[in-house]
Amino acid sequence: MLVTLASVAPDLDGLGIIPELLTRNSSHPLLWFSLYHHSLHTLTFALVVGAISFLLAMRKWVTGILAPLSFHIHRFEDILGSRGPDGEQWPIPHLKPFSSSLQLTWRGQWALNAWPNVVITVALLLAVFWLARQRGFSPLEFISQKVDQAFVGAPAAPFSQQG
């Protein structure tokens, strides 16, 4: 669960879209999404997320390594295919807050709603469905065991089945 949460942690900086949308027609709009989106997509925040995951995990070293790895996969995917509708590339400020010298972008970056992202999303959803069926649980177990079991279609595994 910590590794999965670490993979979405960079987008905490995108939550500013809520106050920005709510205040965009006011006399003092809060431009928190425009100003701060991608400000947590940094090496520093990856290390913070890794340290927190290490401290919270039962399997500390495996989680402490996989959590920042999943964080970096998120950043890699953003570089590949998250171009904005207006052509904005959303550079990844790798060394912030210590330096702005390294802004990661890729000239071939495709748009967020481009076909490769649709294909990747469908393929990953199919993988989630297949794994959920094979293993008897899904990521929905983070939310509720009942919802997870309804999704997987398997009865709840009793704790004392041996004997």
Binding site for Zn ion (CB under 5 A): 10-11, 78
Structure-block tokens of residue 68: 């920042």
Least Å distance, CB 86 to Zn ion, is 17
Residue for token pair 């989106």: 37
Least Å distance, CB 126 to Zn ion, is 23
Q: Which is nearer to Zn ion, 109 or 149 (CB)?
A: 109
Residue whose beta carbon is closest to Zn ion: 78
Which long-range CB contacts under 8 A does 115-121 form with residues at least 24 apart? Answer: 116/80, 116/81, 117/81, 120/81
Least Å distance, CB 46 to Zn ion, is 12
Q: Which is nearer to Zn ion, 40 or 132 (CB)?
A: 40
Q: Which is nearer to Zn ion, 20 or 78 (CB)?
A: 78
The residues with which 104 forms a beta bridge, in sequence order, are 92
Cα gap 132→155, rounded to integer Å: 13
Least Å distance, CB 11 to Zn ion, is 5
Q: How many CB atoms lie within 10 A of CB 75?
A: 21
Cα gap 139→155, rounded to integer Å: 17
Least Å distance, CB 34 to Zn ion, is 15
3 state DSSP class of 93:
strand
Q: Which is nearer to Zn ion, 10 or 16 (CB)?
A: 10
Q: Which is nearer to Zn ion, 10 or 81 (CB)?
A: 10
Q: Report the first-to-last Cα separation within the chain, whole angstroms.
A: 31
